[in-house]
């Protein structure tokens, strides 16, 4: 079994005004390469904290995280920043795009940071063009971030997260600020990317989004309380190039809704 991510006995405690808040309590789980895992749970249960702690955006209080078998919890800030830039992609609900740059330059920014010379930058320019075409935002490349729709902006964010060809994508409520059709647009792209082999870990409170993932972890009060894996037979359709839709999606949504009910959602 090849793991994209392994998390062992992870804890995160915040200290505010001398009071300890144990947000993550000894969490362990693994994500295999090629999986698309959704994290669900009540507001304040620690979902975002979990995502930040495993992706090195924040330091866990205790425990270890391995990215493709490499322990990342021991790394210093500089090494960690390098790993984040090279091997991880990030998509957030309110994505921070720079207002004085065009959409294209925003997408290129992390790629340029990771490029050592002019030749590499030329390659990145080309790759950026390809990605923008794939995600159907070529025509808004010169626009300012305020001159595009929510769905377009989120697709630009996806482009940006992919520029350094990450092994894993982390997304915190990637559709949280989008309307139904934009949300579907974005999920279609994420499903496509996952189908092409990128591992995805995302946080969501949207059943429709979670139904399109292969596995769901339910977190309550800093613990993983349950796990739902969608059936293998359903997934064969995906591996044959069909995405989760139609009847399979309806079946999944029904199962998920029952399961969430059992979880106390
Ligand atoms: P969720 O994403 O599930 O809604 P969060 O992970 O954002 O929950 O928050 C879980 C708990 O951690 C909350 O009680 C929140 O107040 C606390 N928390 C999150 N980030 C910080 C921080 N940077 N400093 C102090 N407390 C925090
Ligand atoms: Mg959150």
pLDDT digits (tens, 9 = 90+) for 178-199: 889 888 988 998 999 999 899 9
Please say whether the beta carbons of 106 and 122 come within 8 A. Answer: no
pLDDT at position 232 is 58
pLDDT at position 162 is 92
In a domain, 20, yes or no: yes
pLDDT at position 185 is 84
Q: Count of domains in the chain?
A: 1
Q: What tokens appear for 144 in the block?
A: 């300012």
pTM of the model: 0.92
CATH number assigned to the domain comprising residue 65: 3.40.50.300
Any atom of ligand 1 within 6 Å of the Cβ of 6: no
Contacts (Cβ under 8 Å, ≥6 apart) of 106? 97, 98, 145, 156, 160
Give the residues of the chain that fall short of pLDDT 70: 94-95, 232-244
Q: How far is the CA of 11 from the centre of ligand 1 (A)?
A: 13
In a domain, 248, yes or no: yes
pLDDT at position 178 is 85
> What is the residue range of 216's domain?
3-97+167-263
pLDDT at position 238 is 54
Nearest atom in ligand 1 to the alpha carbon of residue 222 is: 10
In a domain, 154, yes or no: no
3-state helix, strand, coil in the chain (%, to 5): 45, 25, 30
In a domain, 136, yes or no: no
**What are the beta bridge partners of residue 199?**
168
Q: How far is the CA of 222 from the centre of ligand 1 (A)?
A: 10
**What are the beta bridge partners of residue 243?**
none
Any atom of ligand 1 within 6 Å of the Cβ of 48: yes
In a domain, 63, yes or no: yes
pLDDT at position 208 is 94
Nearest atom in ligand 1 to the alpha carbon of residue 172 is: 2
In a domain, 160, yes or no: no
Any atom of ligand 1 within 6 Å of the Cβ of 23: yes
pLDDT at position 235 is 54
pLDDT at position 96 is 77
Distance, CA of 255 to CA of 252 (rounded, Å): 5
In a domain, 146, yes or no: no
Distance, CA of 169 to CA of 151 (rounded, Å): 18
Element housing 46 (H / E): none
pLDDT at position 200 is 97
pLDDT at position 8 is 98
pLDDT at position 1 is 82
Contacts (Cβ under 8 Å, ≥6 apart) of 63? 7, 8, 9, 10, 11, 26, 27, 28, 73
In a domain, 196, yes or no: yes
């Amino acid at each position: 079994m090849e793991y994209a991510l392994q998390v062992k006995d992870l804890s995160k405690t915040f200290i505010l005004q001398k009071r300890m808040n144990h947000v993550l309590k000894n969490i362990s789980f693994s994500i295999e390469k090629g999986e698309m895992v959704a994290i669900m749970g009540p507001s304040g249960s620690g979902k975002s904290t979990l995502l930040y702690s495993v992706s090195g955006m924040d330091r866990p209080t205790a425990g270890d995280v391995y990215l493709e078998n490499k322990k990342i919890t021991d790394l210093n800030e500089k090494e960690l920043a390098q790993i984040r830039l090279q091997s991880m992609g990030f998509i957030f609900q309110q994505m921070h795009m720079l207002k004085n740059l065009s959409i294209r330059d925003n997408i290129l920014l992390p790629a340029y940071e990771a490029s050592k010379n002019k030749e590499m930058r030329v390659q990145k320019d080309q790759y950026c063009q390809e990605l923008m075409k794939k995600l159907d935002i070529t025509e808004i490349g010169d626009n300012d971030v305020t001159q595009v729709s929510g769905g377009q902006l989120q697709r630009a964010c996806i482009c940006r997260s992919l520029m350094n060809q990450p092994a894993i994508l982390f997304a915190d409520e990637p559709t949280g600020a989008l309307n139904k059709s934009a949300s579907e647009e974005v999920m279609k792209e994420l499903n496509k990317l996952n189908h092409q082999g990128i591992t995805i870990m995302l946080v969501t409170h949207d059943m429709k989004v979670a139904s399109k993932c292969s596995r769901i972890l339910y977190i309550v009060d800093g613990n993983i309380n349950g796990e739902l894996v969608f059936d293998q037979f359903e997934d064969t359709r995906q591996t044959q190039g069909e995405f989760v839709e139609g009847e399979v999606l309806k079946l999944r949504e029904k199962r998920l809704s029952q399961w969430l009910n059992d979880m106390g959602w």
